Chains A and B, each alone.
Chain A
């Protein structure tokens, strides 16, 4: 589904990603972990197409298309979803109106007719029940005055509505208490199936207790320096990132 080859990117001439290689297949959950400043959020942003980052080398294939050649909205329409670490506020615009616009724009891209009001409401009701989210939250202006937990739940609700092929969760656990993490994770798990994939970007292992990954990758200094199964996450939790830093520096000396 997603094939990243030697991806290099940076901002204002400063290199952040120094050659990322990663393959994600349908039905899989991958986790990217790493210390602060290792490039985790940059990777998520580059995949979504944030323009302040400049891609200097490498390629990304997404469902047979050259992802890097697509505009951010085309990437979304092709089925890529980013759950933001810091969801953005838009005063005066309700989540409902926002999501309806998004769905219809995506449908337009795919050459489909816009969803009529009845079908949209039916779909929304169904996803609201699935995500255990309240109508009142969706009528409020998008993310404005939302608590940390509400913002993240709203992200996952949008994901449920847009039904992406690949969902990237950027530090979705940051700023959440344990109950909120459980609610958000349950939402993500309900959306998993054999045709879609999830890329979880996180600093802490605790989220992976709820969204259990098939593969764990450690990102350090712009490269994936170690890959493994979910046990790797537990090892990191126990030993901290220092042992990785140590291993890398030993390797570099060799």
Chain B
């Protein structure tokens, strides 16, 4: 009301903080903890822990061997933790982390109705209903809490079309041939430090196989939730779209507010055969830490897809608002002729968050096309970097790339950086790169204010306008959610 507003303004000027800065101070809405007993591995990592995880999941021997190979590889890589990113954080002590934690459920649920009510409540609080009748029609969900999947909806309906959508653990048991055939073919165990660690200790994730010629009739989604203390989450997702198939997949993630940093190191592999299309969307909202940069998730993720067959297409769309540290480069290997790779990204950093994110487009086949649209939004004391590589190999005739990297700054204590790398080995390539940096001005805010729009709403309008091109790529139901999330991430303590 009028008088209150006036008081608020007076206070603002006393504190000498600009309205924009006030507006970006945010509150995290998903920071609650579910009180449920969990079944945990002893703290730290060694071969026994790897065996422990494998045994917990009752894995076949080939899987254990694969893990152990990865673990030994990771040990050899010690000291190879990537240092090239524009990120600053204290060294991670890998012996302080609990690598396996599963919420204890009294009975093993045979179907979704038997899930522990506490866990069901957790997901309902997050806006994810595991009750199929109540779910948004056309969305199947796999819910992962800490190290394990607790349930997958619409499984039977999908199975009728031959679509496999289940947790990774289940896939290893039920579809070992498929898993063995494709696992780590896109992201090799030795790919990088975090990928090797993931291969050694990953505990769950989603598996998805779309058979030849099938268009998946609903959005598939996985919801990741970290709950237990001192644990890391290491999930692994594998999606295979066979010839002429199509799938749209979405993942979402949140975590409780805790003062210590928690590690999340995931691997996602996508494989698109001839004429297949995979659309992968992420809304990442891990706990970002508090206003002083205490706590938050360290998010080190390797995501890569391969357009294996001709005329295939892989499209990554990400809305990154959470995590204290984001290290993530969803990439596409354009192997098939005429294949298409896309990367659409909105990354928001606020307070003391740091993000170093972008993509790699590797053009191997002829007439391959890639498109990169990156929108970085920095506020508070945060740092937001785009890092991208466009590589055109010798044989990739007529490769095309268009990249656009825009940065928006809120306030004057944050940073935006762009590191675009271009390697072209074929003269017929056409590579374009555009970049802009702009600032939300007090003038823009005042213009909105003068039309009756308060500062918080004004910032949301401006930010959503800036990110529109990327938001338009999201599936309808999630675009609305993502818009709200952007606003919340930058929402102030004002009002």
Interface mask (B426-463 → A, CB under 8 Å = 1, otherwise 0): 00000000000010011110111111111101000110
Q: B190 near A: Cβ within 8 Å? A: no
Majority secondary structure, B binding face: helix
Residues of B close to A77: CB separation below 8 A? 452
Residues of A close to B13: CB separation below 8 A? 51
B2's partner among A69, A82, A87, A158 (CB-CB below 8 A) is: A69
Interface mask (A82-105 → B, CB under 8 Å = 1, otherwise 0): 101001101111000111011101
B449's partner among A73, A92, A162 (CB-CB below 8 A) is: A73
Q: A191 near B: Cβ within 8 Å? A: no
Instruction: Kindly provide the distance from the CB of B369 to the nearest chain A CB, expressed in whole angstroms.
Output: 24
Q: A49 near B: Cβ within 8 Å? A: yes
Interface mask (B160-200 → A, CB under 8 Å = 1, otherwise 0): 00000000000000000000000000000000000000000
Residues of A close to B454: CB separation below 8 A? 71, 73, 105
Q: A218 near B: Cβ within 8 Å? A: no
Q: Are A73 and B453 in contact (CB under 8 A)?
A: yes
A72-B446, A88-B443, A92-B466 in contact; A98/B2 too (CB < 8 A)?
A: no
Q: Are B449 and A76 in contact (CB under 8 A)?
A: yes
A48-B450, A50-B446, A90-B444 in contact; A71/B5 too (CB < 8 A)?
A: yes
Q: A70 near B: Cβ within 8 Å? A: yes
Q: B27 near A: Cβ within 8 Å? A: no
Provide the bound-state CA to CA distance between A51 and B466, in Å.
25
Residues of B close to A73: CB separation below 8 A? 5, 449-450, 452-455
A77-B452, A101-B457 in contact; A93/B2 too (CB < 8 A)?
A: no
Interface mask (A118-138 → B, CB under 8 Å = 1, otherwise 0): 000000000000000000000
B interface size (C-beta, 8 A): 32
Which residue of A has the minimal Cβ distance to B441? A88
A50-B446, A93-B464 in contact; A102/B451 too (CB < 8 A)?
A: yes
Provide the bound-state CA to CA distance between A56 and B13, in Å.
15
Q: A20 near B: Cβ within 8 Å? A: no
Q: Are A88 and B453 in contact (CB under 8 A)?
A: no
Provide the bound-state CA to CA distance between A19 and B472, in Å.
52
Provide the bound-state CA to CA distance between A49 and B447, in Å.
11
A101's partner among B3, B442, B461 (CB-CB below 8 A) is: B461
Q: B469 near A: Cβ within 8 Å? A: yes
Q: A65 near B: Cβ within 8 Å? A: yes
Provide the bound-state CA to CA distance between A216 and B2, in Å.
32
Which residue of A has the minimal Cβ distance to B449? A72
A90-B444, A105-B454 in contact; A49/B465 too (CB < 8 A)?
A: no
Q: Are A92 and B452 in contact (CB under 8 A)?
A: no
Q: Counting chain A CB atoms within 10 Å of each CB, which of B438, B465, B468 scores highest?
A: B465
Q: Are B465 and A51 in contact (CB under 8 A)?
A: no
Q: B467 near A: Cβ within 8 Å? A: yes
Provide the bound-state CA to CA distance between A50 and B451, in Å.
13
Q: B9 near A: Cβ within 8 Å? A: yes
Q: B6 near A: Cβ within 8 Å? A: yes
A74's partner among B2, B19, B441, B451 (CB-CB below 8 A) is: B2
Q: Give 6 pairs: A residue, B residue, CB < 8 Å, sorted on A.
A: A70-B2, A74-B5, A76-B449, A88-B441, A105-B451, A142-B465
List residues of B whose CB falls within 8 A of some A CB.
2-3, 5-6, 8-9, 13, 19, 438, 441-444, 446-455, 457, 461-462, 464-469
Q: Which 5 A-B pairs have the closest CB atoms?
A: A92-B465, A93-B465, A72-B449, A76-B452, A102-B451
